[in-house]
Structure 1
Amino acid sequence: MKEAIYDYIIVGAGSAGCVLANRLTEGGHHRVLLLETGGSDKSIFIQMPTALSIPMNTRKYAWQFETEPEPYLDNRRMHCPRGKVLGGSSSINGMVYVRGHARDFDEWQEQGADGWDYRHCLPYFRKAETWAFGGDEYRGGSGPLGVNNGNNMQNPLYKAFVDAGVDAGYFATDDYNGARQEGFGAMHMTVRNGRRWSTANAYLRPAMERDNLTVVTHALVHKILLEGKQATGVCYEKDGKLVDVKASAEVILSAGSIGSPHLLQLSGIGNRDVLEQADIPVNHELPGVGGNLQDHLEFYFQFRCKEPVSLNGKLDWWNKLKIGVRWLLKKDGLGATNHFESCGFIRSRAGVEWPDLQYHFLPAAMRYDGKEAFNGDGFQLHIGHNKPKSRGSVYVQSDNPRQPPRIRFNYLQHEDDRQGFRDCVRLTREIVNQPAMDKYRGPEIQPGVDVQSDEEIDAFVRQAVESAYHPSCTCKMGVDEQAVVGPDTRVHGITGLRVVDSSIFPTIPNGNLNAPTIMVAERAADLIRGLEPLNPSNAPVAMDEQWRDRQRPGGARREIA
């Protein structure tokens, strides 16, 4: 049988891979093979937004990775699920659409990712998106990715939380993905016509109608095929058989921040000591592969609610059935939202230039697995310090592609990260105790009023924090010795090989990662095709000009210790 040869092979049909599959097959000029270890995303539990906790915790749809004991979290092993299905993590995530602050991308440029500053990234955010309220100089009006506000904050608790932030002296922001991120306002989600709008729905399904795209599911890639310093294809396993397939142009890894460095290492590309310890021959020494691992942590600040308006009354089987039936018939109601419909982005201290704390507000008190936290009504704020200085790693353990890599984030290793969570506790209490919440605020359940001192907060945080599921930065983009890819997304020292996914972020943005991952893939698709980049934007960015001297525009000054 004649060996199939494609122009491009994309490994991973996730948030980035689906974008690339669409863009690289536009016009019909290139033959593209897209390989995905998982299978179909057509489950109701994936497509119905309110069911988000199910696919994330299901082995069929997600790699259920677990970290090594985390030394600064009392040696807890942390859950690290990654998408294993068409759409990847965009098919199992919380659907929250946050681009990050403009300065996050300027930071990339400053770290050597030339051309990835906010002015050059904003046009690609706009290209990807159709914003429910119409396009402007910040928001897209005709892109594949549908973005809205779910049920438009019909529950009164959403607005009460936003008003409480304003009462506490913070900005109100009309659009945190627009001119001003800092402040409190409505939260956005990747939902369209009541369905999860993953990159599988937004990008891959239209592309699968094209003759020049081949999608192979249940395909486990074993390694990249190399001839010297040239990537020529990949070896993958399908139905128990190994298949070698060639790429005449490039191999593109879009397997995510765990999968992409692991596959490079399985192919003998990486840190020499790591490869030799795993008995893998060194084909190309690249020290930074798998290093620089970053993530967001968060915990739930939970309160009882004095009014019977929370979603806790909707968690019994009968109400869940009614919500599900309505969604099946009409694609609306409580089934058509992720329930994170208001949010906040604030700075932890004076002297912090742009927001480093993020709130997701939920009008219920419950766990990530969808079970109620206690009997009765309640609400919770997911709060985290989003610009961590701690760094971890993803390192291969053997040449067996089925053996998970060794993952260690070193969460809270850096004192600034621990201080960030102390600020989370104290600032959140102040916000929730504003007059706007008086009608609803009951007793504090978690952390509990007895958690006050630095030592008490630190102990609580070590036991209570969970991953926000934003692993990133393990194949960082740049030109220094630890960089894995250049600003063109090509792997340093290897011809015909790129990495395009959240692993190439130099630093983690202040926000959820699906939106910037899609943006990176959109921009990379133009680089790969040799197209002129979109014209940089001159849209202004609103900042607190007195950030050096105040923690918030209308509040007391908080100095950096």
Structure 2
Amino acid sequence: MSLYQEQVFGEFDYIIVGAGSAGCVLANRLTEDPEIKVLLLEAGGKDWNPWIHVPVGYFKTMHNPATDWCYVTDPDKGINDRQLQWPRGKVLGGSSSLNGLLYIRGQRQDYDGWAAMGNDGWSYEDVLPYFKKSECQSRGENPYHGVDGPLKVSDLRLRREIAERFIKAAQQIGIPANSDVNGETQEGVGYFQQTAYKGLRCSSAKAFLRPALERPNLTLLTRAHTRRIILDGKQATGIEFEHKGKSLRANAGREVVLSAGAIGSPQILQCSGVGEPEHLKSVGVNCLHSLPGVGENLQDHLQIRLVFKTSCKTLNDEVNNPLKKLGVGIQYAVSRTGPLTLAASQVCIFTKSEEGLDRPDIQFHMQPLSADKPGEGVHPFSAFTASVCQLRPHSRGSIKIRSSDPHEHPSIQANYLSAEEDLRVAVNAIKVARRIAEADALKPVIIDEYVPGRQYQTDEQLLNAARRYSQTIYHPTSTCKMGDDEMAVVDNRLRVHGISGLRVADASIMPVIVSGNTNAPSIMIGEKCADMIKQDRLRR
């Protein structure tokens, strides 16, 4: 008998692995029924770091090993063999505790496309009620927004001249104004909304987990690293995990739900012997269930960063001036307003990279500041950043464990810009950014294109600039995709194909990445999965 089998932590109806964007939702919704006993395991720590709760605190929490898993991709040919840092939350709330707070749902066509692929119940009309259920919209209720949910969604508490100029410039080149890109249509330019309330971050942990922790039927363990899912034949019966130096087992009377994210969920499955047999054999893991799609179909949004020096004052000036920096801190302490309330970006644009498209295929994130990367400080001159990403890339990558050790980070092969279609969109996206910069509202205050620089002119040169200056926008998805084809991992009720009592509920189940930021859709997935679990429980 193994050590794990000898130390039983407890018996639960449901075990949720991962207290991130979706996992916290599941813990809350399932424990609404006092008869359901739930164990929530989080490999990271508690969300006590004060910078987690200050919106601009992602500059302190990203790339910080206390709060971030600090994943790094394999060298990638598509971006000149560079390796990119992939921050993922190592704390209650998961990546919702260190992301840029931007609230974007994606396009109607995304979800209708999922349904058209055979995933009944995932059309836009099917998922809209779950977005509304989660939401407490500061602007009030309407057909697209709810006000009774725990997730606070509010307008930005910061306005700057350069952002206003950027919005006007976009309109001058034909991009329509849109004050609600989560409403009737996504196309247009306007200010982002953020998951914040009165100047403080509203993570999934704060919105969903904190209220649920008062219920006696929820048990939470932090610093609990999952080793593997326990399988009895083709039935998931529990979890083996490490906690406070001990190896433990928890039994699930009904189901195990993986909500460890697009990296963590496929890693746990593979470490448990669920995946592509030859790959598992090559890393010393006995294949217990052949499921070749585990870890495949990886998608991410790759952003091309353009930085423009400007004569208009930006946040760079406020941060680099000691007196102004002090004033920023005082302003936030007194009124919870000002630059410390800044989300990752102020202005969003959803538009088309070329004529003839039926819907937007690129997204802009405009920041009234510039820096080489989070945590390294802003540039010593006035500048703003206009990052642009392809919304639905054709390139596909993979997540593969390197060994049976659950602590070893897996191989992340993003395969950016490996599809021909993505190359054309990258070039066109830079051209759209430059058209905005040349518009009357912006041109008079732009001194220079600092990145990539005007020396990049031909299509070939622009593609080289994209390979050199692109960065992840932190949206990995689709590594346990939903569907009924041979590479699908879960069905339309998020049940793992061929294994009873096991589901996946996080961004990894997206068959195709959504057209926008992924936090709000991940929360929606948690809401919908909780409902499906409750429905299935009543049928038994």
Q: TM-score range by the shorter chain?
A: over 0.9
- Asked if 1:445 corresponds to 2:441, the answer is no
Task: Tell me if structure 1 keeps the 8 A contact 2:8–2:249.
Answer: no
> Residue 72 of structure 1 corresponds to which residue in structure 2?
78
TM-superposed deviation, 1:273: 1.3
- Give 3-state SS (helix, strand or coil) of 1:60's partner: coil
| 1:218 aligns to 2:227 (yes or no) | no
Structure-2 residue corresponding to 1:527: 532
Which residue type is aligned with residue 426 of structure 1?
A: K
Higher mean C-alpha deviation, range 95-104 or range 314-323: 314-323
1:276-302 deviations in Å (ceiling 9; x for gaps): 111101110001000000000112211
Matching residue within 56, 65, 78 for 1:59: 65
Q: Offset at 1:108?
A: 1.0
Partners of 1:513 and 1:270 lie apart in 2 by 25
Query: What does 1:46-195 align with in structure 2 at a 5 Å threshold?
Result: 46-151=52-157, 154-195=159-200
Deviation at 1:370, TM superposition (A): 4.3
Q: Establish whether residue 23 from structure 1 lines up as the match of residue 23 from structure 2.
A: no
Please state how far the C-alpha of 1:320 moved relative to its aligned partner: 3.7
In 2 relative to 1, CA 305–2 (structure 1 residues): closer, same or farther, beyond 3 Å? closer
Question: Residue 314 of structure 1: which of 319, 329, 349 is its match?
Answer: 319
Letter in 2 for 1:150: L
Report the counterpart of residue 242 of structure 2 in structure 1: 237
Cα offset, 1:3, TM superposition: 5.2
Structure 1 residue corresponding to 2:341, chosen from 328, 333, 336: 336
| Rounded Cα–Cα distance in structure 2 between residues aligned with 1:2 and 1:188 | 45
Aligned equivalents of 2:308 and 2:378: distance in 1?
10
Gaps of 5+ in 1: 534-561
| C-alpha deviation, 1:84, in angstroms | 0.8
> What percent of counterpart residues are identical?
41
Worse-superposed segment, 47-56 or 1-10: 1-10
Q: Which residue of 1 aligns with 2:3?
A: none
Q: 1:401 to 1:479 in 2, by over 3 A?
A: same
Paired with 1:131 and 1:311, the residues of 2 have a C-alpha distance of 31
1:164-207 deviations in whole A, cap 9, x for unaligned?
11110121112100011001111111111211110011000000
Could you tell which deviates more after superposition, 385-394 or 306-315? 306-315
Amino acid at match of 1:42: W
Cα-to-partner distance string for 1:371-426 (whole Å, 9 max, x where unaligned): 45543211111111121000000011111111111110100001111111101111
CA distance in 2, matches of 1:330, 1:209: 30
Query: Is 1:399 matched up with 2:399?
Result: no
How many Å separate the matches in 2 of 1:2 and 1:450? 64
User: What residue number does 1:270 align with?
Assistant: 275
Deviations 1:45-64 (A, max 9, x none): 11100121211110011111
User: Conserved in 1, the CA contact under 8 Å of 2:275 and 2:290?
Assistant: yes
Q: Indicate the RMSD between aligned Cα atoms, in angstroms.
A: 1.7
1:304-453 pair list within 5 angstroms:
304-316=309-321, 318-338=323-343, 340-372=345-377, 374-453=379-458
Match for 1:196 among 197, 201, 206? 201
Shift of 1:325: 4.1
SS at match of 2:521: helix
Which residue of 2 is the match for residue 45 of structure 1? 51
**Where in structure 2 are the equivalents of 1:280-299 lying within 5 Å?**
280-299=285-304
Unaligned runs of 5+ in 2: 1-6
Counterpart residue identity of residue 163, structure 1? K
Give the corresponding residue for 1:505.
Answer: 510
1:109-132 CA deviation, whole Å, 9 max, x = no partner? Answer: 122222111111111111111111
Q: Distance in 2 between matches of 1:532 and 1:124?
A: 19
Distance 2:324 2:524 in 1: 38
- Give the AA of the match of 1:97: Y
2: CA distance, partners of 1:486 / 1:228:
20
Instruction: Say if 1:526 and 1:532, in contact at 8 Å, map to a contact too.
Output: no
Change (3 A) 1:99 1:228: same
Residue 339 of structure 1, CA deviation:
5.7
Name the aligned partner's letter for residue 50 of structure 1: V
1:69-121 residue CA offsets vs partner (Å, 9 max, x unmatched): 11211111111121110000000111111101111111111222221111111
What is the correspondence of 1:484-495 to structure 2 with a 5 Å cutoff? Answer: 484-495=489-500
Residue 43 of structure 1, CA deviation: 1.3
1:9 to 1, 8, 15: 15
CA distance in 1, matches of 2:40, 2:9: 16
8 A contact 1:233–1:245 mirrored in 2: yes
Q: 1:27 to 1:277 in 2, by over 3 A?
A: same
Is contact 2:316–2:381 with CA below 8 Å preserved after alignment? no
Distance in structure 1 (CA, Å) of the matches to 2:54 and 2:243: 30
> Normalising by structure 1, what TM-score?
0.92
